[in-house]
Structure 1
């Protein structure tokens, strides 16, 4: 289930975001979290099954949303969780979802897989 981020889940969100290559540095990760907490145009969501296993972050600009972050706990990868997170996000987004250069390959792969089904 996709759950909007709350500050009570900060450590969980930081732990999940730290699996992303560009978020390994603690200072960078802290700045990223501050942006999600303070910028109303940046939204962070957690994915919960029995435990929190994924995180997804977007920024919204001029009726477009940009996928900034998407990460699944390594022990839960290759189970389709990332794709499911995107599908659930698209149900609640009032606009199109676009990739950033860091998320483009994953988003394109999900769209291509969807077309081939």
Structure 2
């Protein structure tokens, strides 16, 4: 089964591959299609996996937990792509920092 979600798979300068799925929300109406009527935020990820040997391994990491998204955009490392790849790297770092912050907050006792 597939469930379309916009994403990007990119190669870092060190040769490893990452995959990020763009954050999204549903429209504020009752008659939306949960697969196609979504509003994407291409400035942040809702799911990320990094450090893979190849793009297929990156996609497999996602599909092990979620439905097959159907397609991805692959961006191979090159000087011409370096700015775009750097932007995705910054988005990945922000994603990881946010998740680390959540984990730290969840590890604190609720009462004192």
Report if TM-score (shorter chain) is over 0.5.
Answer: no
More helix by share: 1
More contact order relative to length (CA 8 Å, sep ≥ 6): 2
**TM-score using structure 2 length:** 0.30
**TM-score using structure 1 length:** 0.29
